[in-house]
A and B are shown apart, each in its own frame.
Chain A
Amino acid sequence: MASLGSTRRSRRWLPYVVVGGLLLLIVLRMFYLMSLEGRFNGAFFLRALIDSVKLGSLYALIALGYTMVYGIIRLINFAHGEVFMVGAFVTYFLFTVTPYGWVSALFLAMVLAFGVNRLVALFRASPRDPLTWAATAVSFVALFFLLQAGTWPFWAALIGSMLATGVLGVAIERITYQPLRTAPRNSLLITAIAVSALLQNLGLLTLTNRQTPFRPPTALLDPIQLPIDGLVVQTNGLFFAIPLLTVVLVLVLHNFVRRTRLGRAMRAAAQDAETAQMMGVSVNKVISTTFFIGSVLAAAGGALWGLNFGSLNQPAVLGILPGIKAFAAAVIGGIGSLPGAVIGAVIIGFSESFLTALFPRTGDFQGITEYKDTFAFILLIVVLLIKPSGIVGEDLSEKV
């Protein structure tokens, strides 16, 4: 295997050539389509670009959860797509149902207050800190009355859903993954698949079994016309809101992992959980926190997903495709690495929206659009076979 290093070094140019060649092909195809008569003008491709930015941001929010969990407990969290689904539906119920009866308000306020507890605990040294408890108690009372008071605006529903879904993530980890800390990894993976099936069917049982319209009264959905270089592109506030929120959340996460005590503990546990434990890091707490943050981000993704597409699919299938594509993004970027997840998500979003734009149903190569959903899988398989560690990932192949 000694020759492997030199081979790799001599082929440094290969990725650039491949990516450059693909981009060149895309540009050529664009010019070809633009030379045809019809709707393929610059605005058409600008729309595709806008779509790809939005999609990439959404996938990034989900992919971060996959990559963080994998980085710490080496588990492909199959249930993450379903956590995303729950996030979308909790948002929906928070801004539509009004007002809540006292039983459901009590329950929801408890869940949300626990979420506030976890959120404050992220930045405090001890979870039994008086400030944490004060915040929990105050938020519980306030939320109980707010839930009974009337409709929540979209931003409040978004934050509420992020907290509630974060609590769900922590609960899943505590109940199902924690007893399996020392079990073989296949058991853990099978458990994750079971949790995913459980959440799908529970959603089908308790929420709805049909398409749900997702139209909150928010100014973000008002149409905006972007005059770009003589062309007018119809879009709405989401073009700014989704990437902006994603960038803010990613920056907060980045600073959390770099700057805070818990973030440092997280990095230590990801590097070597056993040694970290010996050095006084509470690995269980770190893993809980990881699931909390991942689920919070997935819930934000779910709420924005509903806003972007205007409706939610039924619970059994809503989480599957976004979850799998985000997972593909995490692997392509290099699973276990935070920037890798964002890069992979951008690649997946870009390729998905340009696959439909470059090969429209009416033109030549009609069959390719049908592979829109399959494409993420194919890309995933190709990346795994060529470079399993992904674009920026470290080598995670199993050690002796």
Chain B
Amino acid sequence: MVTRSATPTTVDAVNPQRRLRNLMLSLGAAALGVLVLYLLDGLGSSKLTQALALFAIWGIATVSLNLINGTLGILSLGHHGFMLIGGYTTGLLTLSEASRQNIVNSGRSTMTDGTLALSVTNLFNTLGLTGLTTPETEWVRFVVAVLIGGLVAAVVGLIVGFPSLRLRGDYLAIVTFGFGEVIRLSASTRIFSPITNGALGFAGVNGSFGKSVWWTFGFLALTVFVISKIKYSSYGRAMQAIREDEVAAEAMGVNLAYHKVLGFVISALFAGIAGGLWVSWLAGVRLEYFLFQLTFFFLVAISAGGTGSITGVLLGTALVVFVRQYGDPLEETYSLQTWLYLAAAVMALASVGAFALRHFRRIRPRFHLSVLVPAVLAVVGVIVASLDPAFLDGTFRGFGMRAIFLSVLLIVIMVFRPEGIVGRTEFSWGRLFGDDRSQPTEEERRQDAWLSNPALNPGAAGPLTSATGTDPSTPSREGSA
């Protein structure tokens, strides 16, 4: 097992002044965030609050997926399957009596009386908690349903995880993808349609919770809290060891299967919660809401922001949600001339970007074909578009432009900056204020003293110590301490 060290080794933790400052700053930022949410919520449901709620919901999903993809280093492609389970569970458990009656009356449903009776209201009635079945306490029932959805997803995650996590690398990616698709494809089959209502799904899920910034951001805060706690615990360090080198981690005593399954189950739990909020945001449950595209969006968010960093993942999620919610102008109908100008602009951007990259990374020649060809195309495009010839008279609708934009973004990031925008670094006040890290901390001083003391550490008298001791160009840290 990885041992838990006595004190954390960050600068902020050992400097009481900085620790207080950081605490105050965190509290202030949280209060500011709450104030902003309060003001926005006061304006009523708008496009912005919906986008914020979606950001929070997808944030839960991406942060939980990042626990597998970033911290554990396993590419999991089945997140939409776990979200589907959480979504269907929440949808079924919170469906109103009227909607249930509609399902019965439609006559096309395959649901039975037994499955139609599955609801949190009935659960509370059975338990004798009739006080919680009133309209005023609907939030209790919703939260309970979302948590049950998360638990069901976690159980499925356990069932899926146990056999498949014995595999490694891309075989594992394929199996998770396969399980995700099996979950999605079998939801509409005869076996499961009494619970899922087949291809029809459920209409009329209460949308007031999923669209409320309070509930969604509350769950997001819970997710970030739990996942970051795990990340910085001994479990998280074991998971990161697995990410870096499985064989070495196993040799150091990390139980591979245990930590993998643990990460998988926790991730599935939060995916289920995200699924419950997602169906509430959509105010309905249908199979089309849980396509592989969902996992693709999450992958874009994680890879763009920074694989392994919660800060980066939330940043990437904000980017993806922004494109999804405010990218409609890309998908409208414009004249072909406008599109040609746009294409020329993209080409010009590509040319400038390629030039800048070659310049700063000192790749020669700077005027490579990858710079010249887009430049020439851009110039030709602008000239042709400004001449306005007859064949540019029509119009064209940019159907699916947002997805194209996101996939191009993902390819560009993968090719030029595979670690994402922020890499693996997390946000911290110390980093923001540029706290001095040139001096070793108390903890590091103690470690260094131990390492350099031959009485305590007999191995230190090896060639490494003598080499550093005789080299005047590298002043050793022990000397300054």
Contacts and interface: CB of A to CB of B under 8 A. Distances in A.
Nearest to A198: B407
Contact of B178 (A194, A205, A370, A381): A381
A32 B102 CA distance: 42
Interface in B160-202: 163-164, 166-171, 173-175, 178-179, 181-182, 185-186, 188-191
**How many residues of B sit at the interface, in one of the four size bands?**
35 or more
A239 interface: no
A205 B415 contact: no
B17 to A, nearest CB: 40
Interface stretch (A91-99, A185-193, A241-249): A185-193
A180 B190 contact: no
B414 A205 contact: no
Contacts of A180: 414-415, 418
A176 B415 contact: yes
A195 interface: yes
B73 to A, nearest CB: 8
Interface in A347-400: 366-367, 370-371, 373-374, 377-378, 380-381, 384-385, 388, 397-398, 400
Contacts of A388: 167, 171
B415 A191 contact: yes
| Chain A residues touching B, majority SS | helix
A187 B303 CA distance: 9
B398 interface: yes
A97 to B, nearest CB: 16
B193 to A, nearest CB: 10
A195 B189 contact: no
B407 A197 contact: yes
A239 to B, nearest CB: 30
Nearest to A400: B247
A373 B398 CA distance: 32
Contacts of B37: none
Contacts of B164: 381, 384-385
A327 B400 contact: no
Contacts of B181: 324, 374, 377
Contacts of B77: 193
Interface in B387-422: 398-401, 403-404, 406-408, 410-411, 414-416, 418
B296 A381 contact: no
Given A76-B174, A180-B418, A205 B75 contact: no
18 contacts: A76-B174, A183-B418, A185-B169, A191-B410, A194-B408, A194-B411, A194-B414, A195-B407, A197-B403, A197-B406, A198-B408, A200-B403, A331-B174, A371-B189, A374-B185, A381-B182, A385-B175, A400-B247
Interface of A: 74-76, 176, 179-180, 183-187, 189-191, 193-195, 197-198, 200-202, 204-205, 209, 316, 324, 327, 331, 366-367, 370-371, 373-374, 377-378, 380-381, 384-385, 388, 397-398, 400
